[in-house]
Amino acid sequence: MNKYARSEALMARAQAHIPGGVNSPVRAHKGVGGTPAFMRSGSGCRLTDVDGNSYIDLVLAYGPLILGHAHPEVLAAVQRAAALGTAFGAPTEGEVAMAEAISERVPSMEMVRLVNSGTEATMSALRLARAFTGRAKLLKFDGNYHGHGDAFLVKAGSGALTTGMPDSPGVPPGVAADTLVAPYNDLAAVAAVFAAHPQAIAAVFVEPIAGNVGLIQPAPGFLAGLRRLCTDNGALLVFDEVMTGFRVARGCYQAICKVKPDLTTVGKVIGHGLPVGAYGGRRDVMQMVSPSGAVYQAGTLSGNPLAVAAGLAALRVLDETKAWDRLEDAGAHLQAGLEAIFERKGIAAQVNREGSMLSVFFSAVPVTTLAAAMASDREMFRRFFHGMRDHGVLLPPSPFESWFLSTAHNTEALDQILEAAAAALD
């Protein structure tokens, strides 16, 4: 009996009308093979697909569902908002409350502009940085993913790595020429790029925790070194915390590393499954954004009342339940259990983790760079992915994506994940 028959039929239908059958590339399973499961519903930490298969979910929509699927307080907030209207094209009180909530939690974000996605947030932050500095060039890091804006699709991570095309056709050569790239965790290389392009770099964009090549943490002193180099060279430091923001800590990762960026981009958790993003930072920089200043950026659905309601509810619940301590405990429990299984079975693997984000690399050496991630055993990951799925645990369908936990992943669910991991490796 084919337990994925309906999903396979839907994929065949989708391919006739949707490029590759999916609306975001990594969903196509090019990194692991096979047919993606089409989902029907989610509750707590579990998903059910159209064939009736149930999974413990470690994807969580790639991070935003920090309280799990269909959290009752988030649902109630969205339903109340929807009953009043789904969009207005006019300001609402909820937008003000969201901006206040972000600024209170992240002091470096003195002013905030809401947008519709993480990609919009990073594109807008780059335009603003160029306007503020009067410079054109961007410095990013290999494997860091900042959305699908043209300037960022040079040595990008996430789905671009999964499909084997980190540089996208359609990006004009002139745009790519203004994007400079350095190895992540290599301060000397960053200093050399600044030296080679004096007074030309508008901003350094960095995922403070690289989450789109799998999870790679910053080396000691790396982020502080970036802050120093940006200050010395008149460039803005931009933290892309779309993935880490409000997930790894109440004040984002910058509250952990104690490095203050000039601009920050966030998303995911502040929509808890609905489309939203934001960028913000220094008041003198943000006041250049229209209509306060001349840097144009607009969006009819920016600050959408449903998305804002979901995000405010999620942030409130996270505060009330002191969720980050619980998420840290859950992440540590899963990491320790996985490491024990790999050791017991004699499998070379690295479990990289920060709070409730983690990744498994099948590698005998620590993974601290893109090169090390790319050198990991991708065939082993493919087998592990399908073994886990067959035992009721859904992983991201790529070795270059982070896994996520929610407050709904209780001890029972974590132990079931570990049981599935042991069985998948038999």
Positions annotated as catalytic residues are: 145, 240, 268
Buried b (16+ CB within 10 A) or exposed e, 234-258: ebbbbbbbbbbbbbbbbbbbbebbe
SS3 per residue for the chain: CCCCHHHHHHHHHHHCCCHHHCCCHHHHCCCCCCCCCCEEEEEECEEEECCCCEEEECCHHHCCCCCCECCHHHHHHHHHHHHHCCCCCCCCHHHHHHHHHHHHHCCCCCEEEEECCHHHHHHHHHHHHHHHHCCCEEEEECCCCCCCCHHHCCCCCCHHHHCCCCCCCCCCHHHHHCEEEECCCCHHHHHHHHHHCCCCEEEEEECCCECCCCCECCCCCHHHHHHHHHHHHCCEEEEECCCCCCCCCCCCHHHHHCCCCCEEEEEHHHCCCCCCEEEEECHHHHCCECCCCCECCCCCCCCCHHHHHHHHHHHHHHHHCCHHHHHHHHHHHHHHHHHHHHHHHCCCCEEEEECCEEEEECCCCCCCCHHHHHCCCHHHHHHHHHHHHHCCEECCCCCCCCEECCCCCCHHHHHHHHHHHHHHCC
